Amino acid sequence: MTHSSSEGRDHYDVIVIGAGSAGFSAAITAAETNARVALIGWGMIGGTCVNIGCVPSKVMIRAAEALHGARAASRFQGLSGEARIDDWAALMADKDNLVETLRNKKYIDLLADYETVDYIEGKAVLAEGGVMIDERFVGADRTIIATGASPAIPDLQGLSETPYLDSTAALELGALPESLLVMGGGYIGCELAQMFARAGTQVTLVTRSHLLPEAEPEISSALTDYLADENITVRTGLDYVSTRKTEAGVALTISVGGREETLEAGHLLLTTGRRANTAKLGLSDMGIQTHANGAILVDERMRTTRAGVYAAGDVTGQDQFVYMAAYGAKIAARNALNDQSLAYDNAAMPWVVFTDPQVAGVGLSEAQAIKAGHSVKTSIAPLDLVPRALAAHDTRGLIKLVADADSDVLLGAQILAPEGADSIQTMVMALTFGMTAKALGETIFPYLTTVEGLKLAAQGFGKDVSKLSCCAG
C-alpha cells in the first residue's frame, strides 16, 4: 500500500514526524528540492482532516443541509417539502467511502510519485541527531514535527466514569442518537450540534461563555438565535460542575449564577478544544519548549527552541486549520533545507465555520483592531439589504467590516450568511493588497450574489444603503 524506507538507509536530509496534512506538505516540499526525506507516520495515514475531521464532518453537515432544505421549502409561497433519513448506516457508509477515496488519492497513492520520500511506520522519539523508531535509529540534520492534535478532554468531576463522545466518535455512531448534550460552543460544537439536530436528534448545546468566542458579538448573538429557531437549546454563560452516568444515558450538572441544575440526554459530546500530540516525543529531553497546553513553541520561521528542529501544524497550537498546517509546514521545510528566512504570516488568513448560515472571517475583529491601537470604524449590513438573500427568501445573517477610521484601510471582515464561506476570499484579497473601504465600495460586483453584500457593507461606511436602488452606487 505504501513504500517503506530501504533497510540499509539510516540517514536523510530531513525527517518529518507525522503523516497528516502538515507532514505531507513538508515532505513533498522537501522532495521537490531532491532532498531525501523520512516521513514517519503512526496510525491511519492522512491525519485529522481527511480521516476524522473536515471531510467526514462536512459530508454529514451537507446531508443535514439537504434535509433542512427540503423542510424549509415552505418559505416560498406554494411550496412544501419533507425529507428524512431512510438508512443511517448507508449514510455513514457513504461518508466512509469518500474518506477512504480521498485518503488513498491524496495521501497513500501520492507516495509513489516522490521517489526521495521513504515512508516509515512507527512511533518516533527524538534523539541526538535524529529519531528512534522502536530500536531503529534514523538520522538527519533537520527534523520537522507535524504530529497534529487530538480532542482535549476537560478535567471535570465524574467524567472519567461517564461515557462520552468526542468529535471522532460522534461521526462514527452506529445509530442516530435520540438526544445529545454538546459541551463547548466553538466551531466544532456549533457545527455538530446543528447537524445532529437537523438529522432528528434533540440537542442541547452548553458553553461557558458564548457561541464562537472569536466571532464578532453581533454574529455570535445572531447565530445563537438561528440555532434556537431550529429547536436547539442553547445555554451560555455557565460553569460545568460534574457529569455522571444515568440509566437513560448521561447527566451534566451546570452552575448558572451560582445556582446548580442538571441536564440529561442519551449521549454527551465533548467539543471543548484540541490538545497538541506531543506526549512521548521526548521534547523536554531535547530542550524543546512547549506552551502550558503542550503545544510546541515556534518562532515566525517555524523553528523550535532546539536548533535544527522545526514544527508546523496543529502541534504548534496556532491557526488550527488544515490549509494553515500545510502552509506552515511548507515554510518549515524550505527554511530547514535552504536556510531561508521565510516568515509565517497569518494576517490575511480566512476562517470558516460550516454552520448554516455559515460564518467566515479574515483579519481583525473590532475588538482586536482597537486593542492593536487603531482608530476604528465599522459598518454592518444585514442580509435583508442584499438582493440575493431576498430572492432566496432567506435573510438570516449580516456582514460586518472593520476599517481604520483615519486611513480608511480595511482591517477585517466577518460574514454570517448561507453562502458566506465562498464570499470571504474577496476580503482576503482586499486585505492582502491594502484596499480601502471606499475602493471596495466602488468595485464592480455581480448582481444577485452574496458577495455583493461586501460592496453594500463598504458603502455603508458613508451612506444609507437601504436608500440605494439595485446596483446603484
Residue 325 · residue 313 · CB < 8 Å: yes
Residue 178, C-alpha cell as written in the block? 435520540
Whole-number Cα distances in Å, 283 to 127, 257, 310: 9, 42, 12
Q: How far is residue 27's CA from residue 113's CA, in Å, rounded to a whole number?
A: 12
Q: What is the pLDDT of residues 20-57, one digit of tens each?
A: 999 999 999 999 999 999 999 998 899 999 998 999 99
187 labelled binding-site residue: yes
Domains of the chain: 11-46+107-151+275-338 (3.50.50.60), 159-272 (3.50.50.60), 351-463 (3.30.390.30)
Q: Which residues of the chain have pLDDT under 70?
A: 1-9, 469, 471-473
Q: Is 186 annotated as a binding residue?
A: yes
Angstrom distance (rounded) from CA 87 to CA 85: 6
Residue 294 assigned to a binding site: no
> Grid coordinates representing 283?
521534547
Q: Is residue 129 annotated as involved in ligand binding? A: no
Report residue 96: phi and psi, to 5°. Answer: -65, -35
pLDDT per residue over 222-241, tens digit each? 999 999 999 999 999 999 99
Q: Is 313 annotated as contributing to ligand binding? A: no
Say which DSSP state 157 is in.
B
Task: Please write the tens of the pLDDT for every residue from 108-160.
Answer: 999 999 999 999 999 999 999 999 999 999 999 999 999 999 999 999 999 99
Is 184 part of any known ligand binding site?
Answer: yes
Q: Is residue 58 a known part of a binding site? A: yes
pLDDT tens digits along 3-24: 444 455 689 999 999 999 999 9
Q: Is residue 191 annotated as involved in ligand binding?
A: yes
Q: Determine the Cα–Cα distance for residues 124 and 5; give it in Å rounded to an integer.
A: 14
pLDDT at 472: 55
pTM of the full predicted structure?
Answer: 0.94
Question: Would the annotation count 190 as a binding residue?
Answer: yes
Three-state SS for 294-311 is CCECCCCCCECCCCCEEE
Helix/strand/coil for 253: strand
Tell me if 188 is assigned to a ligand binding site.
yes
pLDDT at 440: 98
Instruction: Express the helix, strand and coil content of the chain in percent, nearest 5 each.
Output: 35, 25, 40
Q: What is the pLDDT of residue 244?
A: 98
**Cell numbers 448534550: residue:** 181
